[in-house]
Structure 1
Amino acid sequence: MIENINWYPGHMKKTREMIQENLKMIDLVIEVIDARIPISSRNPIINDIIGGKPRVILLNKMDLADGRENDKWAALYKSEGHYVVPMNCMTGAGLSNLLSLLGKIQEKRNETLGRKRNLRMMIVGVPNVGKSSLINRMIGKKSAKTGDRPGVTRGKQWLTLENGMQLLDTPGILWPKFEDPSVGLNLAFCGSIRDETMDLATLALELIKVLQERYPQLLKERYKLEELGEEGLDTMETIALKRGFILPGKRIDYERTARTVLDEFRSGLIGTITLERCE
């Protein structure tokens, strides 16, 4: 069942231990989250481990999210005492703002300590949220493996930036159980949980239900629908008919329809969408 999404491989336990072991050497934590799901993509385990350590919350994939919601979430996290930088780690948009902020943090820290030392940072986040793409942008070359599949990065990597700052990359980490079923769904919608572990047709149907409620116009425009169905399944079947996803015997190809909807949501083709709104 989709409601019981539960994915916590052994390497995630090791990642948690790695973060705990290295935290004492770190001056600053960069927490990468998905701007489309600013709550669901924040791992409560990371929050517990890091505690009061200074933190930059990087709202990645800002271009895929609703711009008005990006501003609201940034304001909220700033009010909680965090640094916040909206960014697109794939294109590098927002990188100059991040590097400028890190320079100011290092300068302020050195003034407080009364000596110069390059900033040591740790990057954390859930799988497939953009950590490796961020690192590639920060160090100016491709040294960290990247991929659109969660769990590509394994093991600890210390990297040095051109300005001398040091960066510790950690693999993506989820938590043992999602107390709120919507959290697991949101992570699955955005690709932070492997598609192979769930029924894609059911997952896409759940996404269509959410979009039908919150972004009906975008759904109609993308799939050229005059009206949405009374139920999510009706809309899904209409999308299949519009796209010609029909199997022999005039049966709906739910699998192909599901992959199309999920892929087009994840790539921003349906529109700029934020699934968790800042109330």
Structure 2
Amino acid sequence: MAVHWYPGHMHKAQKEIKQVLPQVDLLIEVLDARIPYSSENPAIAQLRGDKPCIKVLSKTDLADPVVTATWQEYLERERSVKTFAATTEQPAQMKKIIELCRKMLPEKEASVKTINTMIVGIPNVGKSTLINILADRIIAKTGNEAAVTKHQQRINLGNGITLFDTPGILWPKVENPNSGYRLAATGAIKDTAMEYDDVGFYAADYLIKAYPECLKERFKLTSIGATEIEFLEAAAGSRGALMAGGRVNLHKICEVLINELRSGKLGRISLETPEMVEHEEAEMASVAAKKAADKIKRKQSFKTGSLTPDKKDRKEKRESDRAAQSARMKKQHRARSK
């Protein structure tokens, strides 16, 4: 799925992050526990470099706990990275992030210097709610929609820790098409920038393979079918998402499916695993390599031209004649100069 939603303030926010980053000791990157890979902005990883980073897996109450644990182990293989899995419904637990900041910067703690942190993340991952919990007061505007925060701000958390808040930012091009669907399904992209039917079909295809029992229980079905269309038809009948003549209202049932996935009514569901994304990245690398090879081939073809055997022979003869003529002219020139 191609994502065509990159508001101007996101471009500005990325520039501001780059400017402030030299002052920052540690990054707090908030990820959606259901899609840790797809909700991780690759631009942040490039800007961060070797700075210590706490990857907060938010919305863990909506994610599959077994998959979340797998992601924590996977992410912590990276140097200077620690993970923190919790939900904003547990404010006391979330406040332990401050203790983790101190543990990751023992030299700052020992010198009693201010620890400058920066919180980053894509839209609608619970970043603003986390800030309010850490600050013990309402500072950041929250809302169950993408792109609520529009401006950067500096917040004193007390106890020698300062927090730079930044607007949630996506990136201009989501390379992995699966990530585009996952971002849309979890609400990181505004609904006006997506097609419910398209995203609903993607979600249904994944869920009937990964969480069939959740679908059966939620939609009260004995069988969900083998394909997304079979499931959606059965679910539409269960929910009354039908039009005149008993035809299935696909838009309505897809909207129901997405909203219930987002709210957790389907159960605790994760939309990607480390194994899945490694396979997808390998496929993307293969496609990129093929594109690069095709580009080289096109350039070479443009240089030589598209030649049939007889055209190739005539071209070779012209080049041979030119070479012979050039040799004669050089010989005549040398003869005259003697």
Matched residue SS, 1:168: strand
Alignment of 1:1-279 (within 5 A): 3-81=1-79, 82-92=81-91, 94-111=93-110, 115-279=111-275
**Paired amino acid for 1:99:** I
CA contact (8 A) 1:7 1:177 kept: no
Identity of aligned residues (%): 38
CA contact (8 A) 1:121 1:168 kept: yes
**Paired amino acid for 1:97:** K
Report the CA distance between 1:259 and its aligned residue: 1.9
Report the CA distance between 1:105 and its aligned residue: 3.3
**Deviation sequence 1:183-239 (CA, Å, 0-9, x none):** 111111111011111211221121011101111111111111111123201211211
Higher helix share: 2
**Deviation sequence 1:137-165 (CA, Å, 0-9, x none):** 11112220011111010011111114241
Matched residue SS, 2:147: coil
Report the CA distance between 1:254 and its aligned residue: 2.3
* Alpha-carbon distance between aligned partners in 1 of 2:88 and 2:274, rounded to the nearest angstrom: 22
Flag as ranges the 4+ runs of structure 1 deviating above 4 A: none
Number of equivalent positions: 274
Instruction: Select the structure of larger CA radius of gyration.
Output: 2
**Deviation sequence 1:115-142 (CA, Å, 0-9, x none):** 3222111000111111101101111122
CA contact (8 A) 1:161 1:167 kept: yes
For structure 1, the 5+ residue unaligned runs are none
**Paired amino acid for 2:208:** Q
Matched residue SS, 1:252: coil
* Alpha-carbon distance between aligned partners in 1 of 2:22 and 2:68, rounded to the nearest angstrom: 32
Q: Could you say which structure has the greater relative contact order, defined with CA pairs below 8 angstroms and 6 or more residues apart?
A: 1
* Alpha-carbon distance between aligned partners in 1 of 2:155 and 2:61, rounded to the nearest angstrom: 27
Normalising by structure 2, what TM-score? Answer: 0.77
Normalising by structure 1, what TM-score? Answer: 0.93
State which drifts further: 65-74 or 14-23. Answer: 65-74
* Alpha-carbon distance between aligned partners in 2 of 1:13 and 1:228, rounded to the nearest angstrom: 43
Matched residue SS, 2:274: coil
CA contact (8 A) 1:90 1:134 kept: no
CA contact (8 A) 2:10 2:168 kept: yes
Aligned to 2:311: none
CA contact (8 A) 1:40 1:187 kept: yes
